[in-house]
Amino acid sequence: MSRGMHGRRGVVNVDRKLDKDVLKRLLKFTLKNNKIQLFIVIIAISISSVVSVISSLFMKTLIDDYITPLTLQSNPNYAPLKQALSIMFMIYIFGIFFNFLYQKILIKVSNGTLRKIRDDSFEHMQTLPIKYFDTNPHGEIMSVYTNDIDTLRQLLSQSIPSLFSSIITLTSIFISMVTLSIPLTLVSLFMVGIMNLALQWIMKKSKKYYIAQQSNLGKENGYIEEMMEGVKVVKVFNYEEEAINNFEKLNDNLFHSSFNANKYSTILMPIMGNLGNISYVLSAAIGGYLAIKLNSLTIGTLASFLTLNKSFTMPISQISQQFNSVIMAMAGAERIFKLLDEESEINDGKVVLVNVKDVNGQLVECEQCTNVWAWKHPDHDGKERLVLLKGDVRFHDVTFGYVPEKVVLKNINLYAEPGQKLAFVGATGAGKTTITNLINRFYDIQEGSITYDGIDVKLINKNDLRRSLGIVLQDTNLFSGTIKENIMYAKHDASDDEVLNAAKLANAHGFIMQLEHGYDTIISSDGSPLSQGQKQLLSIARAALANSPVLILDEATSSIDSRTEKIVQEGMDKLMSGRTTFVIAHRLSTIKNSNVIMVLDNGEIIERGDHQSLLKEKGTYYKLYTGLLEND
Amino acid sequence: MIKTIAKEIKEYKIPSIIGPIFMALEVVSELMLPLFMGFIIDRGINAKDITLVYKYGGLMLLFAFLSLSFGYLSAHFGTLAAAGLAKNLRSSMFRNIQNFSFKNIDKFSSSSLITRMMTDVTNTQNAYQMMLRMGVRAPMMLVIATFMTFSINKNLSVVYIYAIIFLGTAIIIMVYFSYKAFKQVFKKYDFLNSVVQENVSNIRVVKAYVKEEEEINKFKKISLSLYNAILKAENITVLNSPIMQLTVYMVIIALSWLGASMIVSNTLTTGELMSMFTYTMNILVSLQMLSMIFIMLIMSLASMERISEILNEDSDITNPVNPIYEVKDGSISFKDVYFKYYEDSIEYVLSDINLDIKSGETIGIIGGTGSSKSSLVQLIPRLYDVDQGSIKVGGIDVKDYDIKTLRDEVSMVLQKNILFSGTIKENLRWGDKNASDEELVKMAKLAQAHEFITSFPDGYDTYIEQGGTNVSGGQKQRLTIARALLKKPKILILDDSTSAVDTRTDAFIRKAFREELPNTTKLIISQRIISIMDADRIVVLDDGRINGIGTHKQLLKTNNIYKEVYETQHKEGGEDNE
C-alpha cells in the first residue's frame, strides 16, 4: 500500500449545467439492448397519453352531445348514450392495457439496465490497476454501487417516461388549443414563460442548498467515520463532550442546508400549481372579453379552451417535479461513467505458463497437471521456446515512482536465485513495500527491467506472472465465507487433505480445530471472530496452498507476538524452503537466516549482505538490529 | 419503536403541528378553486356576464394567492420539522454512542453505525416530511371531496363507496405483498454491497491470486438474484396504476349512466355531474397518495428500527448512584477476577486473577497472542466490567467511582491507537484541553516526541491526516504516549505502545517515566522483553491466567514461558552486539 495517497472524501459536484453528453450516453446505453422494447414503450405511452386526453375531453362531449339532448326528449332514448359509454369503455380498457404494458416493459428495461451497469462496473473495476484503488478513497468507489446506480432508477423508470408522456400530452393539448383560439393560446404560452422563469429561480435556489447539503453530508459522514473508528480512544480520554460539541456544529450546518434544500423543492408544487390557476383566470378574463364584448369567440369554444388550459399547466408542474431526480441522476451517472472510463490494466504479455513434462531431457508441453511448469516463450521467428519455471528474479537498474515527479526507488539492482531468501529492511517510506509491488506488476517501472527466469516481466502474461507468485500481505485480507473457503481461495479444486496440510504448515490447524465448527466456521470479511494473529496464520495457509515458486511476505508476521511467531516461523521456514522468497519484516529476528538482507534508505539500497556480515559492518543494519534506529 | 423516534421531535413539535394545519388550509383553498372555475363558466361566460367573470376571476386569484401562501408556509414548517427531527436523531444517536461501553461498541461495526446515522436518518426524515405533508393532504382531500359529493347527490355517491372499498382492498393486498417482496430486495442489496466492499478492500489479494473472473462471476450471480427480487417486487407495485385507472374509468362510466337518468328526471344538473367528475379524481388520487405514504412508511420502518436500536441501547457501564470523585492513590488490586466478552461464551478470557500493585510501582506484562494481556488492563479504567471478583483502585472498587474521574486518573494508551485529523497540538490537548504550550512541550519531551515534532516545518502545528497517515508508526506511538501523559494520571497503562519505537528511544521513555513520574503506577504491556525487563515486577500471562510474577531475574530462573521468550529474542547475536 502506498501510504499517504488517499484523497479526501470527494464532494458531489452538481453545480454544473446538465451534462448533455452524460444523458446521451446513458440513453444510448439503455437503448443498446432494448431497442424493440423501448419502441413498444414509446408507442404504448403515446396511446395511453392520448387516451387520457380523450377521456378529459370526453366528459364535455358526454354532457353536451348526449345528456343535454336527453333532457330535451319527451321519451328519452338511452341507446346513443349506452353506445357512447360502451365505446368509451373500450377506449379506457385499451388505454389501461397500454399503460400496464409500458410500465411492465419499463420495469424490465430499467432494472435490466441497472443490473447491466452494476455488472459492467464491477467487471470493469476488476480490470483496473492497483493504482486506481490506491488513489481513490474506498468509500467513494463503494458509493458508485450504493448510491450512484440507484439514482438512475427513478430517472429510468419514472422521470424519462413521465417527461415523454407529458410532452405527448402537451403537444396534443397545444394543437387543440391552437385550433380553438390563437390569441388565447398566446396568453397561455405567456404564462408558461412565467412558469419557466419561476421554475428556474427555484431550481437555482434549491440547487444551491442541495449542493451545500451534499457537502455537509460528506463532512458529517467524515467526522462520524473518524469518531467511530476512534471511539475507544474517545472513551479513554473522556473526550465525549468535545466530540459531541464538534458534531453538533456540523449537524447544525447539515440541518440548515437540508431544511432549505427540501423547502425549495417542496414549494415548487404550490407555486407552479397556482401559476396555472392564474393562467386560468387570465384566459377566462381575456377570453370572456373577446367572447362577450367583441364576439370574436363562441362561448362553447371558450369553455372548451378553459378546460384545455387546466390540463395544459398540469404536465408542466409534473415535469418540474422530476428535475431534482434528473440532477441527482446526472451526477450519479457521471461518476459511474468515470469509473467505466478508467483505463484498464493492460495485459499484453505473450509469455504464458504451461504444464510440462520431461521427456528424455526435453521439456514437452502437456495437458494434465504435472506440477512442473514452464514459461512458453514465443520467439521472434515464430517458434516457441519452453523455459522451466524456477523462480529466478532479477532487478536491473530499476527506477520507480508512484508519480513521475517523485522517485521512490532509484537504480535498484538485485538478484534472487531460485530458493533464495531476500529480506528488505529500512525506515518508513524507504521503499520496501514498493519493491514487492513491482515484481507482480501491480505497478510498472519507469526505468530498467525486472526479469523472471530470464524473461522480462513485461513480456509475461500478468495473470500467469501473478499465479507464479504467492503473497502474504501486511493487512490480512480475508473474505466472508468459511475458513476452508478462505484457505482454498487460490486453489478452488484443492482436496481436504491439501487444505489440512496447508493449515498445518502455517500452524493454523491447532486454533481452527478449537473453533466450534472447525474448518467450516464462517468468518466475516473483517475476520471476526478471529484474532489478528489467527487471521495472519490463515493468510499464510492460503499462500501455502497456492504453492507458487516465488513468495512475497510483506510484514506477514507483524501482528503475531514473538512467542507465536516462533511457531509460525517453523511453518514459514517450511513454506519458504525451495522457494524464492522476498521478505519485508518489522522484526529483524525473523529475517536473520536470509541469504541476502538489503537495507533500503530513501529508495536506495545502502547495505547488502547476510546477517553476520552486515552486523560486522556496524552500519545501518547494525543500528536497526540493535534497536538504535526505528525499523517501521 | 415509533415512540423512541417520536421522542426526538422535541423543539420541532410546533412546526410539526402548524405545518399540517397550513397544509389543511392549503387543501381547503385549493378545493375552492374548481368551484370558482365552475362559476366563471356557468355564471359568467355562459350567462354572458363579463363583470361576473372578473369578479370570480378576482376571487380565484385571491384564493390562488391564499393557497400559495399556505402552501409556502406548510412547505416551510413541514420541511423544518422533518429536517429538525433528522438533526435531533443524529445528535441523540451520536450522544448515545458516546455513552456506549466498549461492550456496546463491539456489538456494532463502525460502518453500520455510519449507515444508521446517515442513510437511515435520511430515510426517516423523508418519511416524516411525507407524513406531515401528504399524510394530511390525502385524508383531507378524501374527506372533503367525499363530503362534497354527498352534499351534491347522496344516491349517486354510493358509487364512490363501492369504488373506495374495491380500491382500498386492492391496495392493502398489494402493500402486503410488495412489503414482503421489498424486504427480500433489501437483504440482497446488503449482500451485494458487502461483496463489493470486500473486493475493493481486498483487491490486492484478488489480483495477486488472479481471481478477477471468479469474483466477477460471484458478483454477477448476486446481481442476478437482486434483479430477480426487484422484478418480483416491482411486478406487484406495477399493478397499482392499472387498478387505479380501472376504478376511475368505471366510476366515470357509472356516474355518466346513472347521472344521465337523474338529469333527465331533474334530480341532478349537468353542472353538478361535472363537479362529481372532478371530485372523482380528487378522491381516487388521494387514495393512491395514501397507499404511497403507507408503502413509504413501511419501508422506512426498517430504518427506524435500526435507529431505535442505537437509541435504546443502554450502556451496560453506568455511573453508580453516589459516585466517588476522588482517587486516593495509584494502587490496584485484582481479587478473584473472572472475565469474558460475551455472556454466552463458555470459557472465560481471564480467570482467577489475583494481583496487588502498589502505588508508583512499574509492572511489566508479557504473554502470547490471546493470553488476554489487553483484556486485563482494560478492566482497570472500567472499559469493561468484570464478571466475577473485583478490582480496586486506590482501595475502592472501580464500580464505585465516577467513571469520568476514574478514567482521568487511569490513562491508557491503547494497542490500536488513533490520532485524529487536526494539528499535533490539538491531538495532544485531548489529554488536557487547558494544557499550556509549556506543558505540551514537557510531556512531548517525556515521550521523546519533542525532537521529531520540532523537526517538522510546522512544529507543533503540523497537521495530522485522518488516521495519522503522515507520521511513522513509531512517531505515532510517541504522540499517543504524550497525549496520555498530559492527563497527569495516577495510573498509566501502555498497551504495547512502543512496539514501533526503536529500542534506544524506548529506553529513554522508560527512563523518563522512572525519573519524572515516580509516583505514577505504570503498567507496560510489551512483546519485547527489553521493554519490560527493568520493571519492578513482571506478570506472565498465559491463556488468561497468571503464569508467574516476579522480577526479570526471578522469572528467568522459574518461569519457562518467560525464559523461552527471552531466549528467542536474545539468543543469537542481539545481546552480544548491544
pLDDT in tens, B384-394: 899 999 999 99
For residue A386, name the pLDDT band (cuts at 50, 70, 90).
confident
**pLDDT > 80? residue A426:** no
Bigger pLDDT: B572 vs B557: B557
Residues 6+ apart with CB under 8 A from A532: A476, A559, A560, B369
**pLDDT > 70? residue A506:** yes
pLDDT of residue A557: 66
Q: Which of B61, B196, B246 sits opposite A96 (nearest CB)?
A: B246
Q: In this structure, is the dihedral angle defined by the CA atoms of residues A46, A47, A52 and A55, taken in order, positive or negative?
A: positive
**pLDDT > 80? residue A317:** no
As a whole number, the mean pLDDT across chain A is 83
Per cent of chain B over pLDDT 90 is 36
Other Cβ atoms closer than 10 A to A229: 18
The total number of structural domains that make up chain A:
3
Of the given ranges (A223-232, A313-322, B6-15, B477-486), which has the lowest mean pLDDT?
A313-322
Residue B17 within any structural domain of the chain: yes
Q: What CA–CA distance (Å, rounded) separates B500 from A547?
A: 32
B382 and B350 housed in the same domain: yes
B391 DSSP β-pair partners = B334
Give the 3-state secondary structure of A322-373.
CHHHHHHHHHHHHHHHHHHHCCCCCCCCCEEEEEEEEECCEEEECCCCCCCE
B129 and B220 housed in the same domain: no
Mean pLDDT within A247-257 = 94
Query: What stretch of H or E contains B367?
Result: strand B362-367
Q: Are strands A447-452 and A455-456 parallel, antiparallel or unpaired?
A: antiparallel
pLDDT of residue B361: 93
Mean pLDDT within A100-112 = 91
B382 and B506 housed in the same domain: yes
Contact flag A130-B203 (C-beta cutoff 8 Å)? yes
CA-to-CA separations, A194 to A168, A172, A178, in angstroms, rounded = 21, 21, 20
A50 and A103 housed in the same domain: yes
Closest CA to B189 of B222, B221, B158: B222
B6 and B92 housed in the same domain: yes
A167 and A72 housed in the same domain: yes
Chain B residues closer than 8 Å to A224 by CB: 94, 113-114, 117-118
Residue A14 within any structural domain of the chain: no
Q: Which of B279, B314, B349 lies at the terminal end of a domain, its last residue? A: B314
Chain A residues closer than 8 Å to B66 by CB: none
A456 and A602 housed in the same domain: yes
Instruction: Suggest the residue from B16, B27, B48, B53 to mutate for an interface test with chain A (most A CBs closer than 10 A).
Output: B53
Q: What CA–CA distance (Å, rounded) separates B443 from A105?
A: 70
Q: What CA–CA distance (Å, rounded) separates A144 from A132?
A: 14
Contact flag B370-A142 (C-beta cutoff 8 Å)? no
**Minimum CA–CA partner of A139 in chain B:** B197
A374 and A461 housed in the same domain: no
**pLDDT > 90? residue A554:** no
Chain B residues closer than 8 Å to A1 by CB: 204
Angle at alpha carbon of residue A236, lines to A230 and A239, rounded to 5°: 75
**pLDDT > 70? residue A18:** no
Residue A216 within any structural domain of the chain: no
pLDDT of residue A605: 87
Mean pLDDT within A375-388 = 83
Q: At what angle do helices B121-152 and B13-39 cross, to 10 degrees?
A: 40
B343 and B472 housed in the same domain: yes
- Residue A94: strand, helix, or coil: helix
pLDDT of residue B226: 93
**pLDDT > 60? residue A207:** yes
Residue B306 within any structural domain of the chain: yes
Q: What CA–CA distance (Å, rounded) separates A278 from A188?
A: 10
**pLDDT > 60? residue B170:** yes
**pLDDT > 70? residue A122:** yes
Contact flag B60-A280 (C-beta cutoff 8 Å)? yes
Of the given ranges (A310-319, A348-357, A493-502, B396-405), which has the lowest mean pLDDT?
A310-319
pLDDT of residue A149: 87
Chain B residues closer than 8 Å to A142 by CB: 193, 196-197, 200
Instruction: Suggest the residue from A125, A210, A236 to mutate for an interface test with chain B (most B CBs closer than 10 A).
Output: A236
Shortest Cα–Cα distance, B388 to chain A (Å): 23
Residue B474 within any structural domain of the chain: yes
Cell of B257: 349512466
pLDDT of residue A369: 67
Angle at alpha carbon of residue B409, lines to B407 and B413, rounded to 5°: 65
B470 and B528 housed in the same domain: yes
Give the 3-state secondary structure of B177-245.
HHHHHHHHHHHHHHHHHHHHHHHHHCHHHHHHCCCHHHHHHHHHHHHHHHHHHHHHHHHHHCCHHHHHH
Q: What CA–CA distance (Å, rounded) separates B392 from B333?
A: 5
A2 and A149 housed in the same domain: yes
Q: What is the CATH number of the domain that holds A175?
A: 1.20.1560.10
Query: What stretch of H or E contains B361?
Result: none
Residue B138 within any structural domain of the chain: yes
Task: Determine the distance from the C-alpha atom of residue B486 to the mean position of all C-alpha atoms in its chain, rounded to a whole number.
Answer: 31
B406 and B483 housed in the same domain: yes
Q: Which of A63, A258, A629 sits opposite B274 (nearest CB)?
A: A63
Residue B62 within any structural domain of the chain: yes
Task: Determine the distance from the C-alpha atom of residue B21 to the mean position of all C-alpha atoms in its chain, rounded to a whole number.
Answer: 33
Taking a C-beta distance cutoff of 8 angstroms, is the pair B113, A246 a contact? no
B384 and B528 housed in the same domain: yes
Taking a C-beta distance cutoff of 8 angstroms, is the pair B480, B428 a contact? no
Q: Which of A158, A179, A200 lies at the terminal end of a domain, its last residue? A: A179
Give the HSE-up count for residue B159: Cα atoms under 13 Å, Cβ half-sphere.
Answer: 24
Q: Dihedral of the CA atoms A426, A430, A435, A438 (nearest 10)?
A: 170
Q: What CA–CA distance (Å, rounded) separates A235 from B11?
A: 29
Q: Which of A67, A130, A284 sits opposite B57 (nearest CB)?
A: A284
A42 and A123 housed in the same domain: yes
Domain that holds residue B166: 154-267
Q: Which of A128, A152, A179 lies at the terminal end of a domain, its last residue? A: A179
For residue A7, name the pLDDT band (cuts at 50, 70, 90).
very low
- pLDDT winner (highest mean) among A263-272, A328-337, B226-235: B226-235
B383 and B512 housed in the same domain: yes
Contact flag B417-A622 (C-beta cutoff 8 Å)? no
**pLDDT > 70? residue B136:** yes
Shortest Cα–Cα distance, A317 to chain B (Å): 14
Chain A residues closer than 8 Å to B102 by CB: 232, 235
Residues 6+ apart with CB under 8 A from A4: B465, B469, B470
B48: amino acid identity, one letter = K
CA-to-CA separations, B428 to A243, B403, B454, B479, B494, in angstroms, rounded = 15, 22, 14, 7, 16
Per cent of chain A over pLDDT 70 is 91
Predicted ipTM?
0.82
B335 DSSP β-pair partners = B390
Taking a C-beta distance cutoff of 8 angstroms, is the pair B182, B299 a contact? yes
For residue B358, name the pLDDT band (cuts at 50, 70, 90).
very high
pLDDT of residue B219: 93
Cell of A137: 478513497
Residue A317 within any structural domain of the chain: no
A400 and A366 housed in the same domain: no
**pLDDT > 80? residue B116:** yes
A36 and A78 housed in the same domain: yes
Task: Determine the distance from the C-alpha atom of residue B458 to the mean position of all C-alpha atoms in its chain, rounded to a whole number.
Answer: 36
**Minimum CA–CA partner of B244 in chain A:** A96
pLDDT of residue B369: 65
Residue B278 within any structural domain of the chain: no
A370 and A400 housed in the same domain: no
pLDDT of residue A252: 95
pLDDT of residue A23: 82
A127 and A52 housed in the same domain: yes
pLDDT of residue A332: 83
Cα separation of the two ends of chain B: 65
Q: Which burial class, exposed, middle or buried, applies to A578 when counting CB atoms under 10 A from its CB (0-12, 13-18, 19+)?
A: exposed
Contact flag A630-B50 (C-beta cutoff 8 Å)? no
Q: What CA–CA distance (Å, rounded) separates A281 from B58?
A: 8
A421 and A525 housed in the same domain: yes
Closest CA to A562 of B372, B522, B561: B561
B376 and B397 housed in the same domain: yes
Q: For residue A584, which phi and psi values (nearest 5 degrees)?
A: -115, 120
Bigger pLDDT: A434 vs B400: B400
Mean pLDDT within B163-186 = 85
Contact flag A67-B528 (C-beta cutoff 8 Å)? no
pLDDT of residue A528: 63
Residue B51 within any structural domain of the chain: yes
Mean pLDDT within A516-536 = 77
Residue A614 within any structural domain of the chain: yes
Task: Give A71-91 pLDDT, tens digit per residue.
Answer: 788 888 888 888 989 998 999
B163 and B197 housed in the same domain: yes
Q: In this structure, is the dihedral angle defined by the CA atoms of residues B52, B53, B56 and B62, taken in order, positive or negative?
A: negative
Q: Which of A292, A440, A442 sits opposite B48 (nearest CB)?
A: A292
Domain that holds residue A375: 352-388
Q: Which of A388, A403, A437 lies at the terminal end of a domain, its last residue? A: A388
B455 and B343 housed in the same domain: yes
Residue A294 within any structural domain of the chain: no
As a whole number, the mean pLDDT across chain B is 86
Shortest Cα–Cα distance, B541 to chain A (Å): 12
Residue A579 within any structural domain of the chain: yes
Task: Give B272-329 pLDDT, tens digit per residue.
Answer: 887 788 788 788 778 878 877 877 887 788 889 889 999 998 888 888 889 999 999 9
For residue A4, name the pLDDT band (cuts at 50, 70, 90).
very low
CA-to-CA separations, B461 to A426, A530, B424, B442, B455, in angstroms, rounded = 28, 39, 6, 16, 12
Chain A residues closer than 8 Å to B192 by CB: 118, 145
Residue A407 within any structural domain of the chain: yes
The total number of structural domains that make up chain B:
3
- pLDDT winner (highest mean) among A556-565, B54-63, B355-364: B355-364
Q: For residue B501, which phi and psi values (nearest 5 degrees)?
A: -85, 140
Chain A residues closer than 8 Å to B268 by CB: none
Residue A233 within any structural domain of the chain: no
Residue B284 within any structural domain of the chain: no
A371 and A397 housed in the same domain: no
Q: What is the pTM of this model?
A: 0.77
For residue B419, name the pLDDT band (cuts at 50, 70, 90).
confident
For residue A3, name the pLDDT band (cuts at 50, 70, 90).
very low
Task: Give B440-485 pLDDT, tens digit per residue.
Answer: 999 999 999 998 899 888 999 998 877 676 777 788 889 999 999 9
Q: What is the CATH number of the domain that holds A419?
A: 3.40.50.300
Q: What is the CATH number of the domain that holds B94?
A: 1.20.1560.10
